[in-house]
Amino acid sequence: MSKKKLKKILIPNRGEIAVRIQRTCRELNIPTVAVFSDPDRYALHVRYADEAFPLNGSLPQETYLNQEKIFAIAKKSGADAIHPGYGFLSENAGFVKNCRERGITFIGPPPEAIEAMGLKTKAREIMLKAGVPVVPGSEPIENTESAQAEADKTGYPVLLKASAGGGGKGMRLVEKPENLKPAFEACRREAQSAFGDPRVYLEKYLEKPRHVEFQVLADSHGHVIHLYERECSIQRRHQKIIEETPSPVLDENMRRKMGEVAVEAARVCGYVNAGTVEFLVDKDRNFYFLEMNTRLQVEHPITEMITGVDLVEQQIRIAEGEPLIHETIPRRGAALECRIYAEDPANNFLPSPGLIKALTNPGGPGVRNDSGVYSGYIIPMEYDPMISKLVTYGENREQAINRMLRALEEYYLLGIHTNISYLRKIISHPQFASGDYHTHFIANYQDQLSDSGSKHNDSIALAAAVILSFLRSEQQTAGRQQGQPEHTSAWKLCGRKRSMGL
């Protein structure tokens, strides 16, 4: 692959991940193009970009998933590259092929790798041929009779999973034979609805598993490396909400073995760019390939914290044809990430869209907050309710945890419900502190984690917001007395000439 310097990058995404990509682009002096739906007209990623163009619509299908509109904006803006972030079009092989046909550089893996890893049963087949251990399971199953035969052979409990699935959708736990038929039919319906593919396969259900993933980087010159692991076992409804690195369950020997397998998994599917190889670790510390995510992960910042490597920069460098650094990248310290959501834990985690009336962001040593919101921003109901990714770093796990507890205490959003107090209860729990936990942690301790203290926390947040508002008012008054302007344009704060393609 010849080297090519990218001139302008379009980001067909929104929220904190779009802002996070823009920040690295700014450091590399690469202009960025934002796109926005009607609800996102005043979003932070629109304010931060060098150029911004409307997608005219509200639903994902007519905006961030609309390839025709995105390619038209790429042509109009002169963007020669696209970074998809995660979600939306990030793992759409057809979109990557369309980029290739139009001469646009896709900052991500080739479509062949996306196709190979996107279908879970195909990925299992590739890994088995490569000698990578996988959870015992089946090929796609066509009917309940075949499902019953496979379950009898594998042994209960079993998991039914969508072949094209991910994110916990199209997944059912079956503990008894009499529950298999309704679960199979429900799983097929959900798979068809979520992915347009009703195919389902069956896996042996591992009791008390841990979810551990390895970050990999691969260049177009045949070099593949890993940047260590992330522990992702704190999950709600199969969705990760807290991640940490290093994993408390791994020793150096196990880390080395899993890292070697992750590198081999990327190599055998012809992978290029950043990706994540995910494993399940059973109670006996055996590990099995689960899947490969062919994109940047939500939890990538904790890897950046312990390695000092900017993964988005590496993605761009690889897309430009640059080779990877060959020497081993050292790791240092420990890091945690909490996903902050606009949701109400006291009301079955119902999304909580609405106006952010006041906001205080955490700070101080070892704290990073990748956010897509600001005070006065209205969180739309059309999209995922994640507000930000709060990350802390420490010289060791204990310091990283203590900093996270402090940061969560400092984090206030008035006007909407959040899961902040819920996350604090998880981090404070003795079982989490011990490091001896698994993917059923939340289910096992749900009663202890219930958000009975939310009203108290809202009162604290209100008091903090009132104080903050008073201080800002005093500061503005003092500024006016000194002849300073009352407001500073958000565009001027960006420090660049920018345009809105309205």
- Indicate which residue of 124, 255, 295, 397 is catalytic: 295
- In angstroms, the CA 280 to CA 439 distance is 10
Identify the DSSP state of 178. Answer: G
- In angstroms, the CA 133 to CA 389 distance is 32
- In angstroms, the CA 176 to CA 472 distance is 60
Bond from prior residue into 177 cis (ω within 30 degrees of 0): no
Q: Is the dihedral of CA 24, 27, 32, 38 positive or negative?
A: positive
In the sheet with 334-341, reading across from the earlier edge strand, the strands are 287-293, 273-281, 210-218, 224-236, 239-245, 334-341, 386-394, 367-371
295 included as an active-site residue: yes
Please state the three-class secondary structure of 100-155 as a single string.
HHCCCEECCCCHHHHHHHHCHHHHHHHHHHCCCCECCECCCECCHHHHHHHHHHHC
Task: Describe the crossing of helices 397-410 and 420-428 by its angle, rounded to 10 degrees.
Answer: 150
CA–CA distance from 26 to each of 8, 76, 126, 131, 494 (Å)?
11, 21, 39, 42, 10
- In angstroms, the CA 15 to CA 38 distance is 14
CA–CA distance from 432 to each of 9, 234, 330, 371, 392 (Å)?
40, 9, 26, 25, 16
Q: Kindly give the pairing relationship between strand 273-281 and strand 210-218.
A: antiparallel
Contact call for residues 120 and 163 (beta carbons, < 8 A) = yes
Contact call for residues 316 and 107 (beta carbons, < 8 A) = yes
| Of residues 328, 295, 321, the one with CA closest to residue 227 | 328
Task: Give the pair of three-digit tokens for residue 484.
Answer: 């300073």
Q: Is the dihedral of CA 487, 374, 313, 315 positive or negative?
A: negative
CA–CA distance from 466 to each of 181, 342, 387, 415 (Å)?
56, 21, 22, 12
Task: Give the pair of three-digit tokens for residue 102.
Answer: 């139009």
Number of H helices, E strands in the chain: 18, 23
Q: Is the dihedral of CA 135, 224, 272, 267 positive or negative?
A: negative
Among all residues, which ones are annotated catalytic? 295
